Amino acid sequence: MSQRAGQWIDGGQQRRGGGSLYKCTRAIVDNASCPPSPSPLLPPPPHLSFCFSWPCLIVLHRKNKRRPPGNSGTTIKAHPQAPHGHPSSPLTLRVTGPTTWPFPGPQAARPYIFGKSRFSIFGIRFPPHLNTIHPSPVSSIPSIAPQITMSGLKITDFSVHDIRFPTNVTGDGTDAMNKECDYSAAYIVVKTNSDLKGQGMTFTIGRGNEIVCFAIEQIAKRIVGLDLAPIFADMGKFWDFLVSDPQHRWLGPEKGVIHLATAAISNAVWDMYAKHAGKPLWKLIVDFTPEEFVKATSFRYITDALTPAEALEILKSKESGKAAREAEVKKRGYPAYTTSVGWLGYSDEKVRRLTKESLAQGFNHFKLKVGADPEDDLRRGRLIRSIIDDPANMPKDRKPIDPASIANKNAGPTGCVLMVDANQVWDVPQAVEYMKKLEPLKPWFIEEPTAPDDAVGHAAIRKALKPINIGVATGEHAHNRMVFKQLLQLDAIDVCQIDSCRLGGVNEILSVLLMSAKFGVPVCPHAGGVGLCEYVIHLSLIDYICVSGDMERNVLEFVDHLHEHFLYPVSINSEGRYNVPTDAKGGYSIEMFEKSMEDYAFPGGAYWAAVARGENPAVSH
């Protein structure tokens, strides 16, 4: 990539530095250097110091109110030996600094730090005698990188791990579509030239996890060598980089295995960003200004449903109440529902026991897997209803249910709510007929009644079930924001169920949170899998505090499996609500214990090696 001579690239703003107000009105490139690069964040060739380096002449104007009208100020030319300059002795400053290529626009100005002064490049003009800009040896470019790059912090390496837990042994996770299920993580550790690391993963259910791991490796090669300063300064731009490889993109685009892999890497970098800031991921984003939130959000292909201006308006409308909502959710916790009572492979005895235990834990929303046989589903559903609708089974210290939290959810006499989930097993007409048979269970909604990409089909099912007051929920397999856009535009869903790994990471999830808020649809994230509960509590907190401002109708899925393998596991309080993650070192809460990673690594970990030898090792659940 090259830049034509004489072109201006504006980007910058006034900043305070050295006690005076400076405005850099022109930066004229002298002996410029720019490595050819097909992507904005690719690491530089070995003979260059940065992705985009240029020694240039910075011309600064220091405003002086004592000057007569018409004289805007004194021109100062500075260099590293005299960073503060002086009007009586103009000096030349030759700068080398990493940034992205092309140079960012006005909304993404990069501050350059010289001593105690902060200047921003306001414009760059390539002199007319330079037809194009070519690379030059690094030896000709003096570097001040340590002063402008968070002490040179950059990504140096990564490792990818195929981790599988044998949940199929106990029947955890089974449903009408997925009768065999070993909860698995395609897991990445992103490393830097410091102690800072980022952990990320995407979720699968066993076979094929190695395919996702391979895709993660291929994408992650592109981020090695990248400086973290510009990444953290513009996570939206970094996400665009991840999804825009001109060859990897062909495998999606933005869906399937390549998107699952993208999510793992994006989540790892967000985890690293939060740890570097010393905040849980949710708090990092909650503390964003509305403008910073919008900057981190992906709007490509969805501006017919939500524009950046509309998103900004939504966020600003919730700004004044953020502190109060944050305090409230820290005190009470975030509402949850349990799926652990209703896996298809569980015996009646186990369903009965788990339902009573869940009531004792404070839950009042319960989900049942359906779709294999309507008569059996009715029997199992009535079993759960007989327990949750009986006042004698309610805990003695149970607090009254807020009517707003169960309005239009077909709650029973005790205020308990039942939902059913078919995991995509039906065609559209089948879904309608099957759910009419399950009407006696009075479920709040049917989840994933048909193919996840069929927005028109979901709309037809919702319309057909509306007269019997059964809603439609979907989203855990909606692979990008465009599918959610269609579901919302077609009025096809009553509940939006984002998945932290099926979508391409935090940036794309922010898009869906904002769209759902605009269309007035509650977001109840999917969390049935290893590590997903740890992820999604952060996303629901962001939604409540910054976007929707509502958690009365929203409930976050909880499955009581495999949390013991994480350093910062989720927990549920006595009212059946998620506790808010508060550990400053926890990041995105997805860091696993090394022993768990070693024991359940596939195929050579201790557990799987024992299985290969014909042994029957103890199972973690």
Inter-axis angle of helices 428-437 and 455-465, to 10 degrees?
30
Do 160 and 143 fall into the same domain? no
The verdict on 358 and 264 lying in the same domain is: no
Cα–Cα distance between 363 and 578 in angstroms, integer? Answer: 11
Same domain, 272 and 347: no
Instruction: Report CA 566 to chain centroid distance, whole Å.
Output: 18
Q: Of residues 154, 161, 275, 369, which has the active-site annotation? A: 369
Residue at a domain's end among 101, 119, 148: 148
Residues 388 and 532 in one domain: yes
pLDDT band at 23 (very low <50, low <70, confident <90, very high): very low
Most confident of 125-129, 410-414, 611-615: 410-414
124 lies in the same domain as 163: no
Give the mean pLDDT of 418-435.
Answer: 97
CA angle 216, 218, 219 (to 5 degrees): 65
Active site residue 458: no
Half-sphere exposure of 302 (CA within 13 A, CB side): 30
Helix axes 348-361, 374-388, angle to 10 degrees: 40
Tell me, yes or no, whether 242 and 322 share the same domain: no
**Average pLDDT for 379-386:** 97
Clarify whether residues 78 and 108 are in a common domain. yes
Q: Does some domain include residue 595? A: no
Mean local confidence (pLDDT), 148-155: 69
Maximum alpha-carbon separation in the chain: 91
In a domain, 539, yes or no: yes
Residue from 248, 295, 365, 526 carrying the catalytic annotation: 526
Q: What does the alpha-carbon distance between residue 489 and residue 290 come to, in Å, rounded to a whole number?
A: 24
574 & 542 share domain:
yes
Residue 302 lies in a domain: no
Q: What is the CATH number of the domain that holds 167?
A: 3.30.390.10
pLDDT at 177: 76
The verdict on residue 204 lying in a domain is yes
For residue 227, what are the domain limits? 155-279+604-612
- Is 568 a residue whose pLDDT tops 80? yes
Pair of tokens at residue 482: 């465009």
pLDDT-based confidence at 616, cuts 50/70/90? confident
Residue 180 near residue 226 (C-beta atoms within 8 A): no
Same domain (yes/no): 475, 416: yes
Look at residue 287 and tell me if it is in a domain.
Answer: no
The H helix count followed by the E strand count for the chain is: 18, 19
Domain count, the chain: 3
Does residue 566 surpass a pLDDT of 60?
yes
For residues 123 and 241, membership in a common domain is answered with no
User: Do 241 and 225 lie in a common domain?
Assistant: yes
Distances (CA, A) of 129 to 1, 5, 6, 102, 396: 18, 7, 8, 20, 84
Q: Does the structure show a pLDDT above 70 at 61?
A: no
369 is catalytic: yes
Least confident range from 1-5, 461-465, 564-568, 594-598: namely: 1-5
- Segment 271-279 mean pLDDT: 98
Among 148, 172, 204, residue at a domain's last position: 148
Q: What is the DSSP letter of 546?
A: I
Could you tell me if 177 and 112 lie in one domain? no
In a domain, 596, yes or no: no
- pLDDT of 170: 75
Compute the distance between CA of residue 384 and CA of residue 382 in angstroms, rounded to an integer: 5
In a domain, 441, yes or no: yes
- Residue 55, C-beta contacts closer than 8 angstroms, at least 6 positions apart: 30, 31, 32, 33, 94, 95, 96, 140, 141, 142
Give residue-wise pLDDT tens across range 68-95: 333 333 333 333 333 333 333 332 333 3
Instruction: Return the SS3 of 324.
Output: helix
Rounded to an integer, what distance in angstroms lies between the CA atom of residue 264 and that of residue 195?
A: 20
Whether 12 has a pLDDT exceeding 90, the answer reads no
